[in-house]
Structures are given as structure tokens and as C-alpha cells.
């Protein structure tokens, strides 16, 4: 099915019992986001807010709230897109089976963007930025934000839509030092195509022209987050996924998506930045205020009866989790084709995606060797850390399974398999003073931190402890020991103050345990944290706390640690997962707002019976 607009998609969802209209007035300041979060957490339907306080425009959210709903939206095109990707990986398939791949070839014709004739009337009206629903998502956010933008830029050396970039980079509409209706904030992170375009424009001394599309067919939003190779136009992907060619025209030198509900045009000038943020982000913390490019607004357009789509990000899983799952459904074996020997890689959503990758590779280098040890998987690990946004990974666990029974998606089983085999004298490999995710505040500064690869392969070396060893029950300054999973125990410590004090505290732990090593052989990992009850309560809590609050080079310690020829090793690995003074604060729901929105879920409210 080809949707010509966002509204067509929403009507289709409603006909199929997957959307609810909210007719009561809703305040875009905190209330709208709080309703979305509550419905999404319950696995509820998409939402259409028909009465937005302070704006004449409707808003919609939770459109991609579940993988099932996302697959429903693209039910008629998903298979063709998957086949096109397979054909790219294996072009001989099309030659061998031309009839089987005929429909796929026809679908590929939709990849060509369609320029609308200039004489064709476009139903856009010019509006002001302040006319847009000013959705404020979290209480400490710096203002209202666009959370489902499609940010369009062109290459100064190769202008035109076929070399353009479409990315989803958050936009701050109001607050801070932005001049209302004249300026907005543009936040983009490492390894994003827009950075390449701005660099080229800066070298030429030119402003970068930017068009921000909001709404339109849902395929456009997915295209904006799809990790396509540099130089491949997202507009071509949008056409195939949406079964409708991407339609556009140029006005005042700016590209306009004629299917979008809203378009914001403007320019970014070299070296003109303003403070952007804070913003409640997808790691579950506030990304703090930093200088980012400021966009000088040229014109703002809206279609008649336009709908403003939005989402709310926070501690995962959230709606953007479904985006990730859908991308995996679409891309299939593409990554395995790109990285020889890689069988599977899982970006762990509960840990914020970039902080933790679990990978399974192959070990084919030395089949003649009597001792099994990491070799090929180290090559694969380096390839992963040099590939697109995977390069932002902070913790990369990688192993090989000769039986092909292991899955990286079964996280507990993966850790059990890994911990049974890891050799902490050999298998820890640090990358210091390098780049990490912009939103990750565990490091030494914005975009700056460290990485670690833990690569384990071989026969089982230990039976993992399932209970807390006695030697961890009566420690000085470390208490309330809790089992997390086989081979992992959490210890509670006092509040983190400085790294010097932390080093002293962890040395004290080392001294207390030095004579207890026989009890610790079945316990490769020890997590030091602020609250062991919380960390050990669920798998997601363990993943979130441990891997978002650790900077490998600074926060990993070891019992009997040693450095030999610059290689660090230990007997038992300790992660200091306490909150540090430089960390961003965690997101918390606003109790007053939570009480206000109860009326929508009570008898007589639009959402009564949804939860």
C-alpha cells in the first residue's frame, strides 16, 4: 500500500484498530509527552491529538510504537526492500532468477525521486515557527523540540537530490538564546552525513541551505534514520519503502518535499553556534547544553490540515526502539556481507544502543592450532569499530560459536557463554582517548572517551557462580552484595566523589579480596554501583546502569591487575558503575503532570480502557 500522506496512514491505522483520537484539549507542555509515554509503555495504539492547546494543528505520536505496527504500515513493500538489499549483496541472483525478481525490479523504479512541475499548485501556506505545536517533552528540557524531523542538505560539490542527505537530527524550536521565529537549534552527532555537507560549505565560505521536512508518508521518517552508505540518497530508499516516488520541488533555492506536512527552510553559517539543550535523550539522561549550529529561518510552510508527528525519547525501550528493530528487519544480511566472518551483531537497546554491542564472529584463521584463542574475531572487532555508527560502540563483546547455536539477542545466554570462556589475562583490549557517542557523558568530554573490546573464544574455563560468595558478604565499605546473573555480582558502595578516591576505594577492595581468590574463580565480573537492589532487579537495569555509567579506561579495575608490554589484564574484572559528578542527570517523570493526565485514562476520557 502506498500512502500519499501521513493522514492516509493514520486513517488506515484507525480502520484497523491501531489508532485512537484524543478529542480533549491537551497541553503540549509536558502533558502530551506524558500521555505518549504511558500509552507506549502499555504497548498501546498510535495517538492523534485533535485539540492542541495554543496551536491550530493536530499532532500524532506512537505511530511506530511497536515493531508489529511498523511492519503493518509497510506490509506491501517490506519484502521488496529486503529483496533489493539481497540483490545488492548478490547481484547474480537477479540474472539466475529474472522472473522471480521481476517485481523487485519494478519496485526499484520507485527509487527515482520525482520533481513536481513548477506550475503545479502546491497546497502549502506560509506560517510562523510559533504556530507549530510547541511540544516540551521533559521538565528540564531547554525548550520545545522537533523529535521526528527529516533534515535535508545537499553536497556543495555535487548539488542535487541524488547526492543529498536526509537525516534525523533533533531541532530545538524555542528557548535558550534563540530569537523566536527567526532562529532554531540544529543538533547533530558524530558520523552523520550533514557534517560532511557543512564542512564542504564552510570551505567554500558558503552558508549551508537546510530544509527540515516534518510528516509526510511514514517511509520518509524511516529513510531519515536508515544507515545508508555515504553518497546514497535517502530519498531513493524512501521511494522504494513507501512504494511512491519522493516528490519535491525547489523554491527560493531550497528543496521542498511536496508530500511533507511541514517544511522549515533556512541556512547555517560557518562558525555561528548557540547553546542547544538540555534535552531528555534516548540513553535515559539529559544531554546537557552545548554549542551547536544555529539555523537562520527563511520560511516555514504547512499544508492545509497538516499533522505534526512527534515521538518521545527517554530510557529505552521507547518508540525509537521500534525504528531500530525495523532497520534490522530491512537490512537483513547486509552487515554480514560488509564484514567478512561476522555472523551477528546486536546493539543492545536497553543500554542505549551505542554503549554496548554484542557480536558473534567466526574463528577460521588457525584450525590447525591445538589451543583455541581469539584471532579472527579481533579482526572482525576492528572492522566493526570502523563501520558507520557501529564505530560509536563503547563496550564491544565478541565471541565465536562453532556450533552456530548462540544468539546475541538472548543476552543472558550470551553473557553466560562468554563468561564461561573469557580469559581476563588475554582478552581485554582498550582504545583510549577516542570518540564515543555525543550523548554519552561517561567519558572525558563531549564526544570523547574510551572503548574496550572483550574478545573470548575457546573451551569452557569455569563454572559460573550463581550465588554470592561468602568473601563478598562482609567487606569494608562495600555492602549489600547481590547476584546479577551467573558469573556477575553487584556490590554497593558510597557515593562517588573523585577518581583518586575511587582508585583508593577499589584498591581497598582488591586488598580485601587478594587472599580470597579461590572463591572468586567462578566470578569474572563484579559491578560496583550506587544501588544493588535496583541494578539486580531486572536485566535491563543491569545493562542500563553498568554500560551507560562506565568509561572503560577510567572505570574498569581488576583484582590482581597487571600491565605487561602495555597489555592490561586481571583475575576478576570490576566495573565502577556509580554515577559520577560529570554525568548527565537521569530522566524522571513529573509527578504533577502524571496526576494531570489521569483524567484522559479515567471513565469518560478518550483513553479509557487503553491501559
CATH number of the domain within which 511 lies: 3.40.1670
Measured between alpha carbons, how far is 169 from 188 in angstroms, rounded to an integer? 5
Residues 417 and 494 occupy one common structural domain: no
Residues 54 and 123 occupy one common structural domain: yes
Our measurement of the distance from residue 83's CA atom to the centroid of its chain's CA atoms, rounded to an integer in Å, reads 25
Measured between alpha carbons, how far is 244 from 111 in angstroms, rounded to an integer? 8
Q: What is the CA radius of gyration of the chain?
A: 26
Of residues 519, 553, 547, the one with CA closest to residue 535: 547
Boundary of a domain, candidates 424, 456, 488: 456
Q: Is residue 590 part of a domain?
A: no
**Residue partners of 381: CB distance under 8 A and separation at least 6:** 359, 361, 396, 398, 429, 453, 455
Measured between alpha carbons, how far is 575 from 526 in angstroms, rounded to an integer? 6
Residues 286 and 355 occupy one common structural domain: no
| Least confident window among 12-26, 55-69, 363-377 | 363-377
Q: What is the DSSP string of 1-70?
A: ---SSHHHHHHHHHHTT-EEEE-S-B-TBTHHHHHHHHHHHTT--EEEE--BTT-SSEEEE-TT-SHHHH
In the predicted structure, residue 119 carries a pLDDT above the cut 60: no
In the predicted structure, residue 96 carries a pLDDT above the cut 50: no
Using DSSP's 3-state secondary structure scheme, residue 255 falls into strand
Q: Is residue 602 part of a domain?
A: no
Q: What pLDDT sits at residue 83?
A: 74
Q: Is residue 584 part of a domain?
A: no
Q: What is the DSSP string of 187-250?
A: ---SS-HHHHHHHHHHHTT-PEEEEEEE-SSHHHHHHHH--PPTT--HHHHHHHHHTSPPEEEE
Contact 358, 408 (CB under 8 A): yes
Residues 274 and 197 occupy one common structural domain: yes
In the predicted structure, residue 391 carries a pLDDT above the cut 70: yes
Specify the pTM: 0.91
Q: Is residue 606 part of a domain?
A: no
Domain count within the chain: 3
Cα angle 96-102-108, degrees, rounded to a multiple of 5:
115
Q: Report the 10 Å Cβ neighbour count for 85.
A: 17
pLDDT averaged over every residue in the chain: 91
Q: What pLDDT sits at residue 25?
A: 97
Bigger pLDDT: 181 vs 195 = 181
Alpha helices in 339-463, H assignment, sequence order: 376-384, 411-421
Cell of 355: 554503549
Highest averaged pLDDT of the listed ranges 107-116, 170-179, 323-332: 170-179
Bigger pLDDT: 286 vs 101 = 286
In the predicted structure, residue 400 carries a pLDDT above the cut 50: yes
- Residue bearing cell 549483496: 89
Q: What pLDDT sits at residue 92?
A: 40
| Least confident window among 225-234, 252-261, 477-486, 582-591 | 225-234
> Which residues are registered as beta bridge partners of 63?
none
pLDDT band at 79 (very low <50, low <70, confident <90, very high): confident
Q: Report the 10 Å Cβ neighbour count for 580.
A: 20
pLDDT band at 191 (very low <50, low <70, confident <90, very high): low
Cα-based torsion angle of the residue sequence 538, 542, 548, 549 in order, rounded to the nearest 10 degrees: 120
CATH number of the domain within which 421 lies: 3.40.1670.10
Measured between alpha carbons, how far is 445 from 461 in angstroms, rounded to an integer? 38
Q: Is residue 330 part of a domain?
A: yes
pLDDT band at 595 (very low <50, low <70, confident <90, very high): very high
If residue 310 lies in a helix (H) or strand (E), which one and from where to where? Answer: strand 307-310
| Least confident window among 133-147, 178-192, 487-501 | 178-192
Bigger pLDDT: 91 vs 120 = 120
- Residue bearing cell 556490590: 491
Q: Is residue 203 part of a domain?
A: yes
Rounded to a whole number, what is the largest CA-CA distance in the chain?
84
CATH number of the domain within which 156 lies: 2.30.110.10
Measured between alpha carbons, how far is 537 from 521 in angstroms, rounded to an integer? 24
In the predicted structure, residue 459 carries a pLDDT above the cut 70: yes
Residues 340 and 263 occupy one common structural domain: no
- Residue bearing cell 500509552: 39
In the predicted structure, residue 518 carries a pLDDT above the cut 90: no
**Residue partners of 271: CB distance under 8 A and separation at least 6:** 202
Q: What pLDDT sits at residue 108?
A: 67
Q: What pLDDT sits at residue 343?
A: 94
Residues 375 and 301 occupy one common structural domain: no
Contact 153, 197 (CB under 8 A): yes
Residues 194 and 278 occupy one common structural domain: yes
pLDDT digits (tens, 9 = 90+) for 137-152: 999 999 999 999 999 9
Pairing of strands 488-493, 525-529: parallel
Q: What pLDDT sits at residue 94?
A: 37
Residues 174 and 228 occupy one common structural domain: yes
Q: Is residue 417 part of a domain?
A: yes
Q: What pLDDT sits at residue 446?
A: 83
In the predicted structure, residue 232 carries a pLDDT above the cut 90: no
Residues 353 and 443 occupy one common structural domain: yes
| Least confident window among 1-5, 245-249, 468-472 | 1-5
Measured between alpha carbons, how far is 593 from 589 in angstroms, rounded to an integer? 8
Cell of 100: 522471480
In the predicted structure, residue 54 carries a pLDDT above the cut 80: yes
Q: What pLDDT sits at residue 120?
A: 56
Q: What pLDDT sits at residue 95?
A: 38
pLDDT digits (tens, 9 = 90+) for 238-257: 998 999 999 999 999 999 99
Q: What pLDDT sits at residue 579?
A: 97
Structural domain of 336: 319-456
Residues 17 and 144 occupy one common structural domain: yes
Contacts 24+ apart (CB under 8 A), 428-433: 428/452, 428/453, 428/454, 428/568, 428/569, 428/570, 428/573, 429/378, 429/381, 429/453, 429/454, 429/455, 430/552, 430/553, 430/568, 431/385, 432/553, 433/553
Measured between alpha carbons, how far is 541 from 11 in angstroms, rounded to an integer? 37
Residues 295 and 324 occupy one common structural domain: no
Bigger pLDDT: 523 vs 102 = 523
Measured between alpha carbons, how far is 520 from 611 in angstroms, rounded to an integer? 46
Residues 233 and 94 occupy one common structural domain: yes
Amino acid at each position: 500500500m502506498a500512502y500519499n500522506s501521513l493522514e492516509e496512514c493514520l486513517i488506515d491505522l484507525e480502520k484497523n484498530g491501531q489508532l485512537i483520537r484524543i478529542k480533549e484539549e491537551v497541553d503540549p507542555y509536558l502533558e502530551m509527552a506524558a500521555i505518549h509515554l504511558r500509552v507506549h509503555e502499555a504497548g498501546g495504539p498510535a495517538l492523534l491529538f485533535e485539540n492542541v492547546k495554543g496551536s491550530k494543528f493536530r499532532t500524532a505520536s506512537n505511530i511506530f510504537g511497536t515493531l508489529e505496527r511498523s511492519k503493518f504500515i509497510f506490509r506491501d513493500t517490506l519484502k521488496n526492500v529486503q529483496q533489493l538489499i539481497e540483490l545488492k549483496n548478490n547481484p547474480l541472483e537477479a540474472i539466475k532468477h529474472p522472473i522471480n525478481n521481476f517485481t523487485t525490479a519494478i519496485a526499484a523504479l520507485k527509487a527515482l525521486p520525482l520533481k513536481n512541475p513548477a506550475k503545479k499548485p502546491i497546497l502549502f501556506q506560509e506560517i510562523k515557527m510559533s504556530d507549530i505545536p510547541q511540544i516540551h517533552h521533559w521538565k528540564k528540557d531547554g525548550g520545545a523540540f522537533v523529535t521526528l524531523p527529516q533534515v535535508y542538505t545537499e553536497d556543495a560539490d555535487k548539488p542535487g537530490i541524488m547526492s543529498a542527505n536526509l537525516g534525523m537530527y533533533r531541532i530545538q524550536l524555542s528557548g535558550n538564546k534563540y530569537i523566536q521565529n527567526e532562529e532554531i537549534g540544529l543538533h547533530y552527532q558524530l558520523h552523520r552525513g550533514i557534517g560532511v555537507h557543512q564542512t564542504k560549505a564552510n570551505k567554500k565560505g558558503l552558508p549551508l541551505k537546510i530544509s527540515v521536512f516534518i510528516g509526510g508518508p511514514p517511509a520518509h521518517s524511516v529513510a531519515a534514520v536508515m544507515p545508508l552508505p555515504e553518497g546514497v540518497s535517502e530519498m531513493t530508499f524512501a521511494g522504494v519503502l513507501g512504494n511512491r516516488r519522493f516528490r519535491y520541488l525547489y523554491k527560493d533555492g531550497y528543496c521542498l518535499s511536496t508530500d511533507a506536512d511541514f517544511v522549515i527552510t533556512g541556512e547555517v553559517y560557518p562558525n555561528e553556534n548557540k547553546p542547544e539543550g538540555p534535552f531528555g535523550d534516548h540513553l535515559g539522561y539529559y544531554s546537557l547544553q552545548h554549542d551547536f549550529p544555529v539555523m537562520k529561518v527563511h520560511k516555514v510552510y504547512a499544508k492545509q490540515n497538516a499533522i505534526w508527528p512527534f515521538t518521545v525519547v527517554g530510557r529505552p525501550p521507547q518508540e525509537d526502539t521500534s525504528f531500530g528493530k525495523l532497520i534490522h528487519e530491512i537490512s537483513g544480511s547486509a552487515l554480514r556481507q560488509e564484514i567478512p566472518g561476522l555472523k551477528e551483531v546486536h546493539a543492545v537497546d536497553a543500554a542505549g544502543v551505542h554503549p554496548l554491542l554484542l557480536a558473534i564472529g567466526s574463528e577460521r584463521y588457525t584450525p590447525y592450532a591445538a589451543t583455541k584463542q581469539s584471532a579472527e574475531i579481533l579482526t572482525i572487532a576492528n572492522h566493526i569499530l570502523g563501520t558507520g555508527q557501529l564505530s560509536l560502540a563503547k563496550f564491544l563483546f565478541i565471541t565465536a560459536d562453532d556450533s552456530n547455536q548462540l544468539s546475541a539477542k538472548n543476552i543472558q545466554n550470551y553473557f553466560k557463554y562468554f563468561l564461561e570462556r573469557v580469559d581476563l589475562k588475554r582478552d581485554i583490549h582498550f582504545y583510549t582517548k577516542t570518540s564515543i557517542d555525543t550523548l554519552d557523558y561517561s567519558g572525558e568530554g563531549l564526544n570523547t572517551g574510551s572503548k574496550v573490546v572483550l574478545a573470548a573464544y575457546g573451551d569452557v574455563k569455569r563454572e559460573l557462580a550463581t550465588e554470592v560468595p561468602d568473601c563478598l558478604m562482609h567487606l569494608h565499605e562495600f555492602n549489600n552484595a547481590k547476584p546479577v546473573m551467573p558469573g556477575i555480582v553487584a556490590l554497593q558502595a558510597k557515593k562517588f566523589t573523585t577518581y583518586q578516591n575511587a582508585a583508593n576505594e577499589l584498591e581497598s577492595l582488591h586488598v580485601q579480596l587478594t587472599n580470597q581468590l579461590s572463591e572468586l574463580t567462578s566470578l569474572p565480573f563484579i559491578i560496583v554501583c550506587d544501588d544493588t537492589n535496583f541494578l539486580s532487579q531486572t536485566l535491563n537495569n543491569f545493562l542500563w546502569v553498568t554500560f551507560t555509567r562506565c568509561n572503560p579506561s577510567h572505570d574498569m579495575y581488576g583484582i590482581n591487575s597487571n600491565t605487561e608490554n602495555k597489555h592490561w589484564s586481571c583475575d576478576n574484572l570490576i566495573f565502577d558503575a556509580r554515577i559520577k559528578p560529570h554525568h548527565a542527570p537521569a530522566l524522571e517523570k513529573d509527578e504533577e503532570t502524571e496526576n494531570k493526565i489521569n483524567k484522559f485514562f479515567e471513565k469518560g476520557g478518550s483513553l479509557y480502557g487503553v491501559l
